Amino acid sequence: MGKKRIVSKTEKELLEERGDIEKKLNKEVKTSSSKSIEARVYISSTYNNTIITLTDPKGNVISWTSAGRIGFKGAKKSTPFAASKVAEGIYQIIEKNGIKRIHIYVKGIGAGRDSALRFLASKELEIMSIKDVTPIPHNGCRPRKARRV
């Protein structure tokens, strides 16, 4: 198997990587033509990624972003840090559209759900409700047929 190599990045490389992530966050995103004061935020957190969708009260998608879209790759997409950066990106879109009140719907059991929720809660948005919509199996699947001997 050989020796394990630990790759350490220099400070310059780390700053460049951070700059790339911030550039992708600041990318011009298509904004909705109709400006409403209220919206819904759906946080879908899986073991592999965190996806946040911003919709109007009717459910029409205004914008979405994910850890992969921002520039995280592989195992880094599922980290709480990546989720907070995704929430930061969605917050910038919320500010552009002039949204003041949000309803938050959290789905999934990934590592990023709490981090994204905390980031949105720390901002000056009025959070009307937080709802967990994670699907829960309630009766299981059909059992196997009885064995005949």
Q: Is residue 139 part of a domain?
A: no
CB 54 within 8 A of CB 64: yes
Positive or negative CA dihedral for 70, 73, 79, 81? Answer: negative
Domain that holds residue 106: 35-132
pLDDT tens readout for residues 1-29: 667 777 777 888 878 887 887 777 776 45
Q: How far apart are CA 68 and CA 86, in angstroms?
A: 9
Characterize the bridge pairing of strands 61-66 and 50-55. Answer: antiparallel
- Identify whether 123 is part of a domain: yes
Token pair belonging to 136: 């829960």
Q: What is the CATH number of the domain that holds 109?
A: 3.30.420.80
Count of structural domains, the chain: 1
Q: Which distant-in-sequence residues (6+ apart) come within 8 Å of 68 by Cβ?
A: 49, 77
Task: Report if pTM > 0.85.
Answer: no
Q: C-alpha dihedral over 38, 129, 113, 56, to 10 degrees?
A: -20
pLDDT tens per residue across span 113-149:
999 999 999 998 999 999 999 998 888 888 899 999 8
91 inside domain: yes
Instruction: Please report whether residue 83 resides in a domain.
Output: yes
Tokens of 45: 């957190």
- The one-character DSSP state at 76 is G
**Residue whose structure tokens are 């919509």:** 133
